[in-house]
Amino acid sequence: MQPSLRKQRRFALILLAVVILGLAAVYLAVVFTTHDFGWFQTGFDDLPNRVVVYQAGQRTEFQDGQSGYQELARAIQASLNQGVTGPSDLVMSQQNLDDAYFKDVTVEAFFSRPVKLHAWFNTGDPTQLLFPVTGEKAGVPVVFLGMNGVYLSNAPKLNTISPLLDALRKLGFEIG
């Protein structure tokens, strides 16, 4: 083999190694910030153990075995399964939460253990999810992530909540 061909081959191998190391560094940096090795995946397999629908101050709770529970639980799972597009700048203040519970249509899902939404940003380990359906926070499909009644800021934007909206309509909720 000629010396110039060896140099070209070495240069190509070094360049390939630098590219691979660079990609690995980016991947690991995102893993470090998200605490999720599968941050690039879509999909959501968990089902809530109970779902509460709030409509103009009326609270309707659904648990496993009750009529409507499977439809809502599967619709929540299907909506989250479509993936996250990015963080929003939305914050759930106490006034917004009061409106969500007593004025608007809102769906709140509770899980028996922390769940993970895969995203390129940290979504934490929430045990409850709040989906604004009508009202001020409902302009973009988002889900507020919470634990013990406290919701985090920068609610993830979802690709869609259409399955959830369809399930609510089928169950007779007025969502406009």
Mean pLDDT of 22-29: 76
pLDDT for 149: 85
More confident residue, 89 or 173: 173
Give pLDDT tens digits for 27-56. Answer: 777 666 766 766 677 778 899 999 999 998
Nearest of 67, 128, 64 to residue 100 by alpha carbon:
128
More confident residue, 104 or 123: 104
Element (H, E) at 87: strand 84-87
More confident residue, 145 or 33: 145
Give pLDDT tens digits for 8-21. Answer: 888 888 888 888 88
Element (H, E) at 51: strand 50-55
Angle between helices 162-170 and 69-81 (to 10 degrees): 170
pLDDT for 13: 83
